[in-house]
Amino acid sequence: MIIALKKRKENIAEYLLYMWQVEDLIRAARFDAETINREIVARYDQPADVKKAIASWYAGLCTQMHSEGIEEKGHLKAHLDLMAQLSKLHRDLLRRPDEQVYIAAYYKTLPLIVQLRAKSAGSNDDEIATCFTALYGYLNLRMQGREISQPTVDAMKQISLFLACLAEKFKAWETENLKA
């Protein structure tokens, strides 16, 4: 909860990747509150009242995941909605002549997106979802200590840079919308 709130304010891409990890942790704990409290919440170096709030946050996520039918796979609707907002912003940025830096980052990343989409034939993911899925898979491989080829590492660095650029644009867009 603490990390999620911080990431949500600072970097939407990191937030979404973090929340996907949280969804997977909940699944790994089989939605069991005792396991979540013992294996996740107890590890926070926080006062009891904060740990109680964290446990409640996880319980709420469990409830949401059950109600949305994503116990096995998938993402919460709120996260999918954020992805849709990012995709819309991405399309809007590509149409703006004053966004040359963003457009250049996109075109540098586009061949990688094309390769990834070709490898995941049958996937209906848009370009932004493809980038997130690839980066999440890469992060999971790294956490598992798996060997990763240098071309893959290089590709993920480029995708990460592109998503960081989009995250900066999203933060500015969201801040501007909040002012309006």
Burial class of residue 118 (count of CB atoms within 10 Å of its CB; 0-12, 13-18, 19+): exposed
Helix and strand totals (H; E) in the chain: 8, 0
> What pLDDT score was predicted for residue 125?
84
Q: What is the pLDDT of residues 117-139, one digit of tens each?
A: 988 876 778 999 999 999 999 99
Mean pLDDT of 7-29: 96
Q: How does DSSP assign 123-158, residue by residue?
A: ----HHHHHHHHHHHHHHHHHTT----HHHHHHHHH
Q: What is the pLDDT of residues 29-56, one digit of tens each?
A: 999 999 999 999 999 999 999 999 999 9
Is 180 a residue whose pLDDT tops 50? no
Average pLDDT over the chain, rounded to an integer: 94
